[in-house]
Amino acid sequence: MYNKGLFSGLTCSLSFMLFSMVLTSAFAGTTGANYNMKRLLNEPHPFENTNTEPRPDFSIKSRIVPRINNIEIIEFGKISTEKNTMSNQSTSKSKGNNFVSEIRIGALWHDQGPFSHRKEEGYDGNLEILFSSPDEFKRIWNPKPHLGVSLNDSQDTNQVYAGLTWEWLFKKTYFTNFSLGGAYHDGSKVTDLTDKKSLGCNFLFRESLDIGYRFEGRHSIMAHLDHISNAKLCSTNEGLESVGIRYGYHF
């Protein structure tokens, strides 16, 4: 049997001694100075992320990047391509307009040589249409097909013609043309009249030459010479040349 009173007294004595030791240590650490709470407040949180580098942006964004013939859309991490219908429509219209390359009109002095004697008179009104060169003509230096007509104001020889025209451009403004083809005329094949040409055949070879100047992109003016004859394939071959000035409009 133990004495309860003695045990209680010892317990109280030990508790008082421990409390005195803790209190003495606390006052000893702060004696002669005020306790600074700023240090405690400025300490970083132990779980705080101290990495100052910017975090990667994982948000989903969309952007539109313009392209020449289409629009590239990047959306939700996927890339899709949509055709620009407006651009395609304008391109197709441009190709359609380019079917006709140029229209030329001119005033020509009828039957002026230099390869034949002058017999017929008057002036010719000339109209010519040049078409774009097909891809198949690349092997022969891209000539342009043409159709034309020359009508005389003195009831002398008229002609309609067709062929190919080759063009060479110099310094982006000066050019020369050479054409080769055929013509059909309503003049005389054989005649004794001194004011009419004996052209021998109704269908003749036709050649022409232009030397000109191009300005403001679409416009041009040129000196023109053309010649029709049958290359001595018919009974007579007097030939006929006309010279003049022509104006051209480019599409």
pLDDT tens digits, one per residue of 168-222? 999 989 999 999 999 999 999 999 999 999 999 999 999 999 999 999 989 999 9
Q: Give the DSSP H/E element, type plus range, for residue 118.
A: none
Task: Select from 175, 186, 182 the least CA-distant residue to 152.
Answer: 186
Identify whether the C-beta of residue 123 lies closer than 8 Å to the C-beta of residue 89.
Answer: no
* One domain for residues 88 and 208: no
* One domain for residues 157 and 83: no
pLDDT number for residue 52 = 54
* One domain for residues 195 and 219: yes
**Phi and psi, residue 197, nearest 5°:** -90, 140
Percent of the chain at pLDDT > 70 equals: 61
pLDDT number for residue 31 = 46
pLDDT number for residue 147 = 98
* One domain for residues 62 and 145: no
* One domain for residues 119 and 230: yes
Domain with residue 148: its CATH number is 2.40.160.20
Dihedral sign for Cα 219, 224, 229, 231, please.
Answer: negative
> Does the pLDDT of residue 240 top 90, yes or no?
yes
Find the DSSP H helices in 68-197.
85-97
Residue 128 banded pLDDT, cuts 50, 70, 90: very high
Per the DSSP assignment, residues forming a β-bridge with 161 are 148, 183
* One domain for residues 106 and 85: no
Please give the C-alpha separations between residue 62 and each of 59, 99, 186, 231, in angstroms, as whole numbers: 10, 42, 72, 72
Question: What SS3 class is residue 249?
Answer: strand
* One domain for residues 69 and 110: no
Range of the domain at 120: 99-250
Question: What SS3 class is residue 86?
Answer: helix
* One domain for residues 220 and 142: yes
- DSSP structure class, residue 167: E
Mean pLDDT for 55-84 is 47
> Does the pLDDT of residue 250 top 60, yes or no?
yes
Question: What SS3 class is residue 56?
Answer: coil
> Does the pLDDT of residue 90 top 70, yes or no?
no
* One domain for residues 113 and 181: yes
What is the tally of structural domains in the chain?
Answer: 2
User: 226 or 53: whose pLDDT is higher?
Assistant: 226
* One domain for residues 86 and 109: no
Please report whether residue 42 resides in a domain.
Answer: no
* One domain for residues 205 and 134: yes
- Cα Rg of the chain, angstroms: 50
Q: What is the pTM of this model?
A: 0.63
Residue 10 banded pLDDT, cuts 50, 70, 90: low
Please report whether residue 22 resides in a domain.
Answer: no
User: 75 or 59: whose pLDDT is higher?
Assistant: 59
Please report whether residue 157 resides in a domain.
Answer: yes
Lowest-confidence range among 89-98, 148-157, 163-172, 217-226?
89-98
Please report whether residue 28 resides in a domain.
Answer: no
Q: Which of 97, 125, 155 is the last residue of a domain?
A: 97
Q: Which of 97, 120, 151 is the last residue of a domain?
A: 97
Q: How many CB atoms lie within 10 A of CB 164?
A: 18
pLDDT number for residue 98 = 84
Q: Give the DSSP H/E element, type plus range, for residue 31.
A: none
* One domain for residues 84 and 178: no
Task: Select from 209, 225, 138, 212 the least CA-distant residue to 170.
Answer: 212
Give me the chain's average pLDDT, please.
79
